[in-house]
Amino acid sequence: MEGSLIDDSEIVEVLATIKVASTECTKTLEIANEKKVEIDVKREMFRPIAARGSVLYFCIVEMSIVNWMYNSSLQ
């Protein structure tokens, strides 16, 4: 192979394209990480509600063990 790699315009174009794609990927990953943090914060806001709902559900289900009269359908 003769000459410098820098003189090969095809290689320079491919490298430029790769650089642009890399920059776009980096920006997309940054946005994804920001969204992940937002989702985690919002999910944690609902954790107490989910815990209370779980306790309520199991209380209703287990009431039929105490007395059949408390048998109820959750449909």
DSSP secondary-structure letter at 22? Answer: H
- For residue 26, give the nearest of 37, 38, 18, 14 by alpha carbon: 18
30: tokens are 């940054």
33-75 pLDDT per residue, tens: 999 999 999 999 999 999 999 999 888 888 878 777 767 655 5
Alpha-carbon gap, residue 13 to 7, rounded angstroms = 11
The residues, ordered by sequence, that sit 6+ positions from 9 with a Cβ below 8 Å of its Cβ are: none
pTM here is 0.55
| Residue 69 DSSP one-character state | G
For 18-34, the pLDDT digits (tens) are: 999 999 999 999 999 99
Confidence class for position 1, pLDDT limits 50, 70, 90? low
